[in-house]
Amino acid sequence: MTTRIGVLTAGGDAPGLNAAIRAVVRTAIGVHGFEVLGFRKGWRGVMDGNVLELTPASVQGILHRGGTILGSSGADPYHEQGVERVRRTFADLGVDALVTIGGEGTMGAAAHMSSEGVPVVGIPKTIDNDLSGTDACIGFATAVQVATDAIDRLHTTAESHDRLMVVEVMGRSAGWIALSSGIAGGADTILVPEHPFDLEEVASVLRRRHLTGHSFSIVVVAEGALPAEGTMPVPDYPKDPRGAPRFGGIAYEIAPRLEELTGWETRVTVLGHVQRGGSPVAVDRIVATRFGAAATDLIAQGGFGQMVALHGDRIGEVPLPEAAKVRPVPKELVAVAELFFEERRRR
């Protein structure tokens, strides 16, 4: 009997998902002779048995397209007592194994399903780039490019008006986008979730920069960055259905305080979901294609319960429970960024 595999995209979308779906389908059918079903809207589609058959024709022309042809959702069968429904869908549709493309939440759900005996393999995707055990996640490179382009544009207008620009980028638990786009765009201070910030200190770094002849500054802040205890009130974020904070808007809290502390006119830009939209850059298309092919090969070998990963320049794998942990930015990258923050450089 022909092996039939399923594929889903879950959690927040990211540029490069379609490239991964295409690679799964082409490898599954072309190399292994499998059949492929696409589950719509992430785990919701598995629980509801909502599928479409995927063929080489149905994945034609999608390599460069953003979003996901399968749709996505944050549904988690484990939280919804849906494990039985997943099993039933597998039995009803004759699905032998599942490729789950997603971030921390998706890998956590996949780890749970795997511990319940569901044959599953993961592919790392999140613009936040914060999955453990892999050096790359689909979507990150594109998000960094979008944020870097924005910072470049803010530079020219900041310079014209002698302004302080606060740019907020995504990054719930880790500051990968902030740090990477901040380094690439020449930010003067970068605030990340891993290191609570003190605005007095930030202001003194910026003042020092202005004393040395600069008339404008760029501050990049990750949405999940938080103030050091006792320095300013912690914003009261709304919660998502699982009780996790829905970030967004820390730049608006920071900007008036920095304006007061420095005396410089300050403006805010919150990049938001623009970082997740549009066409993936080449690096994301390539890594997504490699991951899609490797995940399908892993299924053919019976290597369930793992997520494919990039280790240096090689494709490897990591057990799902390990992958579903946050990977903070490394100290070395923070140190490189700090070389360009005026006051710290002189200490």
CB 187 within 8 Å of CB 220: yes
- Candidate residues 35, 76, 128, 168; the one interacting with ligand F6P per rule CB under 6 A: 128
Q: Which stretch binds ligand F6P (CB under 6 A): 26-34, 35-43, 84-92, 165-173?
A: 165-173
Nearer residue to ligand F6P within complex by CB, 53 or 240: 240
Give CA–CA dist 191/255, Å, rounded. Answer: 13
| Helix, strand or coil, per DSSP, at residue 136 | coil
Contacts (CB under 6 A) with ligand F6P, residues 253-282: 276
| Helix, strand or coil, per DSSP, at residue 87 | helix
Q: Does 108 bind ligand F6P (CB under 6 A)?
A: no
Q: Which stretch binds ligand F6P (CB under 6 A): 19-27, 115-123, 126-134, 294-302?
A: 126-134
Write down the least CB distance from residue 39 to ligand F6P, Å: 19
Q: Taking every pair of C-alpha atoms in the chain, what is the biggest distance, in angstroms?
A: 74
For 214, residues 6+ apart whose C-beta sits below 8 A from its C-beta are 188
Buried-state track 69-96, b at ≥16 Cβ within 10 A, e below 16: bbbbebbbbbeeebbebbbebbeeeebb
Q: How many residues bind to ligand F6P according to rule CB under 6 A?
A: 11
For 84, residues 6+ apart whose C-beta sits below 8 A from its C-beta are none
Residue 267, both tokens: 């403006």
Write down the least CB distance from residue 162 to ligand F6P, Å: 31
E-state strands within 164-283: 164-169, 189-191, 217-222, 266-270
Q: Which of 128, 130, 188, 284 is catalytic?
A: 128
Q: Which stretch binds ligand F6P (CB under 6 A): 17-25, 124-132, 181-189, 204-212?
A: 124-132
Write down the least CB distance from residue 231 to ligand F6P, Å: 23
Nearer residue to ligand F6P within complex by CB, 169 or 298: 169
Backbone angles phi, psi at 41, to 5 degrees: 60, 45
- Candidate residues 172, 285, 290, 327; the one interacting with ligand F6P per rule CB under 6 A: 172
Q: Give the CA distances from residue 311 to residues 154, 257, 308, 318, in Å, rounded to whole numbers and listed in that order.
A: 35, 42, 10, 10
- Candidate residues 70, 127, 202, 258; the one interacting with ligand F6P per rule CB under 6 A: 127
Write down the least CB distance from residue 126 to ligand F6P, Å: 5
Q: Is 128 a catalytic residue?
A: yes
Contacts (CB under 6 A) with ligand F6P, residues 19-48: none
Catalytic machinery residues: 128
| Binding footprint of ligand F6P on the chain (CB under 6 A) | 12, 103, 126-128, 170-172, 223, 247, 276
